[in-house]
Amino acid sequence: MALFVVGLFLLFVGYYFYGSFVERVLAPDKRTTPAVSKRDGVDFLVLPTWKNMLIQLLNIAGVGPVVGAILGVKFGPIVFILIPIGNIIGGSVHDFVSAMMSMRSGGESLPLLIRDQLGTAVFRFFLAMMSLVLILVVAVFINTPASLLAGIPALASMGLGFWTFVILIFAYYILATLLPVDKIIGRIYPVFGILLLIGTAMIFFEILLFHNEDPTRFMVANDAFRAGLTKQPVIPCLFVTIACGILSGFHATQSPIVVRTMDSELNARPVFYGMMVVEGVIAMTWAAAAMAYYTEFPEQMTLGGNAALQTITGYFLGGGLGVVTILAVVILAITTGDTALRSLRLSLAESFKISQKPLAGRLALTLPLILVIAALLFWSNKSKDSFQILWQYFAWGNQCLAAFTLTAATVWLFVRKKNFLITLLPAAFIMFIVLTFILWTGPEKGGPIGGRLDLKLSYAIAAVTAAVLLCFALLRARRLRALGPPSDELPKENLPQEESSRPQ
């Protein structure tokens, strides 16, 4: 319990001090935002800051900080330190800087930001990889909430099964991605956000009550619990398992959605850095709940993520309140899946210059995506193994996105003569994590297909490769800086009429 409290303290202090430091580096100002300069009534329009905060929270906080935290506890109490440290210097910085990059580029989506900083060749590879990851996100975040809803006895007794919820959730996703952002997302997300916070608060206070009744529940003294801990290495596996509470590349695909509805850069820190810190608090809360439960019932550590979630909420809150909390987690999944589909539509539209103001343009991109996702859903539910494969590829693909985004952010900061170490260091770490995981993992190690190399050898190859790749990125940054100040750093009266050319 002491580590849990220390971890929460680190999150709050980190937001105040390190968040302020990062804000000074980025220097948000009072310039006109894309929501005002490009207003189209569909994707570019102004929403209140409090709505943007809740929308951003729900966009980024999928089931990862809940189910991921429950699975992450199997690595031991170290999660209560790694979550806040990684969140403050990695995940929150990643979300904040990627949002400011989009803001200063007229609300560009992530693939175009990658193209601007890393070149056309990297952009093409990244667009294909990001599209695959977002399709996996949508499929996972239809499957998971449908499974949770189908597991609620009251709904099951009404004859509402898994595929019924799949159809309903998918239909909602389609509407949410086609309609203007203020019609569904801007109206219901604040309500969903409040429900999410209520559900998390209920678990948090129950943890405090349980600790007050019996502090030994949180001491991890049970030998059976320790025997049940995962044998996978903390580095890299923990940072893939519990990615959403520490660092998640998916978040950078969502930030432009909110960037396009903000009326002031000065609100960027609470909206982007702050909401990632809140996600860290959510992850810490569920990790503490899982720790207490597994200490008392270590045999339950064999449960899968969704089953463990239902069991833990029932244990702490009982039937009625437990259902409320599960519904809050369902909201997390649904409100991530719908904006993943929207983000994919917008990214493809920008990349291929397809106007999204007319409905026909939105349908032209959305309908093919629907067919691909429907086929993936059908395949993933043929067996438990199929869904496990789907989740594994989503998990490490998500961290690959983070490595690209932080590398591009490093170039962006270097060119503007800002402190690029705030992104270079987490970029180096997550690139090392991703490369190590790919080189080391394999089905016999509980992961997807990979290199199956020795762990120490994987560490060595990953470290050298990450260093070489980042050196190439910095060399490109020097070339870009030599072209002169970028347009967003020039005084307004000196802005060029057309965007200066950059090497692709």
- Entry field: residues in the chain: 504
d(CA 62, CA 29): 31
| Cα angle: 450, vertex 452, 455; to 5 degrees | 115
Confidence at residue 467, expressed as pLDDT on a 0 to 100 scale = 95
Instruction: Read off the amino acid at residue 314.
Output: G
d(CA 87, CA 278): 10
**CB contact set of 220 (below 8 Å; sequence gap of 6+):** 76, 77, 226, 291, 295
Confidence at residue 497, expressed as pLDDT on a 0 to 100 scale = 41
* Number of CB atoms found within 10 A of residue 271's CB: 25
Q: What is the pLDDT of residues 433-465, one digit of tens each?
A: 999 999 998 888 777 778 899 999 999 999 999
State phi, psi for 232 to the nearest 5 degrees. Answer: -70, 150
Alpha-helix runs per DSSP H in 27-109 = 34-37, 49-60, 69-72, 79-86, 92-104
d(CA 314, CA 458): 41
Confidence at residue 494, expressed as pLDDT on a 0 to 100 scale = 40
Burial class (CB in 10 A: 0-12, 13-18, 19+), 503: exposed
Omega into 77 within 30° of 0, i.e. cis? Answer: no
d(CA 72, CA 86): 14
Instruction: Read off the amino acid at residue 430.
Output: I
**CB contact set of 39 (below 8 Å; sequence gap of 6+):** 45, 46
Confidence at residue 334, expressed as pLDDT on a 0 to 100 scale = 77
Instruction: Read off the amino acid at residue 259.
Output: V
Task: Identify the CA nearest to 46 among candidates 199, 267, 295.
Answer: 267
CB 461 within 8 A of CB 439: yes
User: Which DSSP category does 73 fall into?
Assistant: G
d(CA 403, CA 423): 10
d(CA 182, CA 176): 10
Burial class (CB in 10 A: 0-12, 13-18, 19+), 27: exposed
d(CA 133, CA 405): 14
The CB-based long-range contact list for 363-370 (8 Å cut-off, 24+ gap) reads 363/178, 366/174, 366/177, 366/178, 366/341, 369/135, 369/138, 369/341, 369/344, 369/345, 370/170, 370/174
| Cα angle: 335, vertex 338, 340; to 5 degrees | 105
Confidence at residue 412, expressed as pLDDT on a 0 to 100 scale = 97
Q: What is the 3-state secondary structure (H, E, C) of 95-125?
A: HHHHHHHHHHCCCCCHHHHHHHHHCHHHHHH
List the chain residues with pLDDT less than 70.
62, 180-190, 192-193, 195-196, 211, 214-228, 304-306, 318-322, 324-325, 328-329, 332, 380-392, 489-504
CB 477 within 8 A of CB 503: no
Q: What would the two tokens of residue 26 be?
A: 């980025």
DSSP run (H or E) holding 90:
none
Q: What would the two tokens of residue 7 be?
A: 């971890």
CB 378 within 8 A of CB 106: no
Q: State the first-to-last Cα distance of the chain, in angstroms, to the nearest integer.
A: 51
Task: Identify the CA nearest to 97 among candidates 479, 481, 412, 467.
Answer: 412
**CB contact set of 97 (below 8 Å; sequence gap of 6+):** 22, 26, 406, 409, 412, 413, 422, 423
Q: Is the dihedral of CA 466, 467, 469, 473 positive or negative?
A: positive
Q: How far is CA 375 from CA 149, 322, 369, in A?
A: 21, 33, 10
109 φ/ψ sector (left φ>0, alpha ψ -120 to 50, else beta): beta
DSSP 199-230: HHHHHHHHHHHHHHH-GGGGS---HHHHHTS-
State phi, psi for 39 to the nearest 5 degrees. Answer: -50, 125
Q: What is the pTM of this model?
A: 0.85
Question: Domain 2-386 belongs to what topology?
Answer: Amino acid/polyamine transporter I (1.20.1740)
State phi, psi for 38 to the nearest 5 degrees. Answer: -120, 20
Alpha-helix runs per DSSP H in 27-48 = 34-37
